[in-house]
Structure 1
Amino acid sequence: MSLRFAALGIDHRHIFGMAGNMMDAGGEFTGWWTEGSPDTQDGFVKRFPDIPHVADKAGLLEDPSIDLILISSVPRDRAALAIAAMEAGKDVMVDKPGCTTLEQLEEIKACVARTGRIWSIDFSERFEVPCVTKATQLVAEGAIGKVVQTMGTGPHRLNRPLRPDWFFEREAYGGILTDIASHQIDQFLFFTGSTDAEITMASVGNYANPGDPGLQDFGEIALRSPQGHGYIRVDWYTPDALPNWGDGRLTILGTEGYIELRKYVDVGGRDGTDHLVLVNGDRCENIDASDAGIPYFARLAADIRDRTETAMPQAHAFKVMELGLKAQALAEARG
């Protein structure tokens, strides 16, 4: 089977990695549609100059040769596009957040049950980061014993001049915990082996951007399950001197050691990305994990062919978004 895919919505630059990595996994990019002319369009056309732009998304949805639809539209529109794609017989890979309300999530669940299609979320802070692949291997090998806690941080650069209007609209992006923190919820569930969790604390705030009341620039969550504990902090405060968009980190604590991931930059001085620190009873070392690979995209292609769940269990995608949406609601209810 030669997988063919198309894109609906290119409003977020995550579509660059989604499409590029599916092509690297052997997929054929057949066409794309987007609403209006988002700021990302010039860069997208430069990156994918040979991929045709279609004026009507129906042409892609009705093409029986297309297997997979990628979606990176404005977040509030992703659920409707995903449902339309699944109703048309396509599997879906959506940018995070996969949806922005619990009502949308229930509609997506019903559509998956009705159609039997795959609804997968590209959590890029796990699926597009080789050092997370290496950490997964080490944890599976028992390098740090039983995982009992994750601490994930997702600082981002605001880049105000480059942000579209919807970025500052709470209803459009879903809130900072629904949006950014979904990455860290995904990693907590995955590394602790949890299928559900209790939200013990959630808060959001706007401390640096009072002129944008719809923007939340800080958020945090505490989680626990029978398998482990988690703490998450996300923000839009990345200082200009940092050489990339954010110093994203993950610490995985086990009963026999710990792993720290400095995913995108090491402010301690090491060049490059994908820095992994492993400390256990025998080893205390820094590992360059940049060559560990990113298997999610090839696995998703195999799942589409074989109707399996090797890239990510469907229930996991649902649970990540459920917890993110509930944490968002809890934080906003508390004020």
Structure 2
Amino acid sequence: MMVPLIGKAGDIPAEPTEASQTNRPYVAPRIKFAVIGMNHGHIYGQVNAVERGGGELVAYYAKEKELMDDFKKRFPKVKAAASEQEILDDKSIQLVLSAGIPQERAPLGIRVMKSGKDYMSDKPGITSLAQLAEVRKVQKATKRIYSIMYSERFENRATVKAGELVKAGAIGKVVQTIGLGPHRMNPKSRPDWFFKMSDYGGIITDIGSHQFDQFLFFTGSTEAHVVASEVGNVGHPQYPDLQDFGDVMVRGNGGMGYVRVDWFTPDGLKSWGDGRLTILGTEGFIEIRKNVDISGSPGGNHLFLVDNKETKTIDTSNVDLPYGRQLVDDVINRTETAMTQAHCFLTMELALKAQAEAERIKLS
């Protein structure tokens, strides 16, 4: 099943939310949550994760009527709110989810936190350093949760399993991560905001935020800085505000990292992108082929482990995806088990600085 990217230009195939493709055991509701803004189809994966964790979806709102109509088709029994304020004023709602236009996500999150609710945004949850400073200020003052769903880690079984293996010492001390985030563009079906730098924040801010999350997590870095970064529009001159390529070198107090993101997935690939993560350790390495193994087994979630004894493929089909459950726990218990606030913000800080400092490249 493919999740649509929603917008004025119509629906296109976007990243599939893996967990939504499996049968989910019923979990009795433990919190009530709502949705405000569903411009990207990732919202359905966000809802799915929270429902798996014990959340009950009770209301939704978008300023675009067509998005409200589409959402109603998926959730016909859930209340369609008349306004954003109606949801913010409802004291029974504890958590708000959003996959609005990227540059609108942080301002909404600030309003949500000030209303006394927790917030979970699609990535990128913040699109400028000025937004980040204000979000940090309000989060510190309100003590609310501001979570960003970095789904390449949270909703991918192979990546979750890799985290368990690294924690257990399977490859020794992690030295470096290499995160590759290629995507297929399908430009004719993209909404207008997709092509506006002020709306999407730049390719490193957007797609690259996934990779910085994984870099920090797997290296265990709590401090990091951007060594070098570059971005460019090398293949789509008809969209002058679009960036179709970016890469970054980053260094942390736990290891090094390299990130490459692009919009060049060819139509011949049977997935929207051959996303990969390589984790180099002192005693071995792990490679994850998230969506497709172009010359091997069918499907996604391919995890390969190489150590001093053997090379093996690890089955991840039954790996639990804990993010939604942990986030619901955190909402109830005021804890940080799904992701620390410091990690969430440092991920976006690195992506935003890499974006802001990036050298503009042009190919002859």
TM-score normalized with structure 1 length: 0.97
Identity percentage over the alignment? 51
Secondary structure of 2:227's counterpart equals: strand
Work out the CA distance in 2 between the residues paired with 1:42 and 1:255. Answer: 52
**Superposition deviation, residue 95 in structure 1:** 0.6
| Structure 1 residue corresponding to 2:295, chosen from 232, 244, 268 | 268
User: Which of 15, 23, 26 in structure 1 is aligned with 2:43?
Assistant: 15
- Are 1:218 and 1:235, in contact at CA under 8 Å, matched by a contact in 2? yes
Distance 1:266 1:47, change over 3 A: farther
Is 2:169 the counterpart of 1:136?
Answer: no
From 105, 108, 125, the counterpart of 2:135: 108
Deviation, 1:124, is 0.6
What is the Cα deviation at residue 43 of structure 1?
A: 4.7
Q: Give the match's secondary structure for 1:305.
A: helix
Aligned residues: 334
Give the letter aligned to residue 26 of structure 1.
Answer: G
1:245 paired residue among 239, 261, 272: 272
Structure 2 match to 1:32: 60
Distance in 2 (CA, whole Å) between partners of 1:136 and 1:195 is: 16
> Aligned ranges for residues 188-199 of structure 1 at < 5 Å?
188-199=215-226
Residue of structure 2 in register with 1:207 after alignment: 234
1:259 maps to which residue?
Answer: 286
Show the 5 A alignment for 1:219-298: 219-298=246-325
Please state how far the C-alpha of 1:41 moved relative to its aligned partner: 5.3
Which one of the candidate residues 140, 157, 164 is aligned to 2:184? 157
Task: Give the AA of the match of 1:257.
Answer: G
Any conservation in 2 of the 1:31–1:54 contact (CA below 8 Å)? yes
- Secondary structure, counterpart of 2:352 in structure 1: helix
Once residues 56 and 43 of structure 1 are traced to their aligned partners in structure 2, the CA distance between those partners, rounded to angstroms, is 17
Choose the corresponding residue for 1:125, options 119, 142, 152: 152
Is residue 73 of structure 1 aligned with residue 88 of structure 2? no
After superposition, give the CA deviation of every residue in 1:245-286 in whole Å (9 maximum; x if it has no partner): 111100000000000001111112201211100000123111
Q: Is the 8 A contact 1:16 1:44 kept in 2?
A: no
* AA partner of residue 143 (structure 2): G
Deviation at 1:2, TM superposition (A): 1.9
The 2-side partners of 1:206 and 1:55 are apart by: 40
Unaligned runs of 5+ in 1: none
Change (3 A) 1:261 1:43: farther
Give the residue type in structure 1 aligned to 2:128.
Answer: T
**Partners of 1:63 and 1:57 in 2: CA distance:** 10
TM-aligned CA deviation for residue 171 of structure 1 = 0.5
Residues of 2 paired with 1:131 and 1:151: CA distance? 15
The residue identity in structure 2 corresponding to 1:46 is: K
Deviations 1:194-221, CA, capped at 9 Å, x for gaps: 0121211100011111010111000000
Question: What is the TM-score with the length of structure 2 in the denominator?
Answer: 0.89
**Counterpart residue type for residue 60 of structure 2:** W
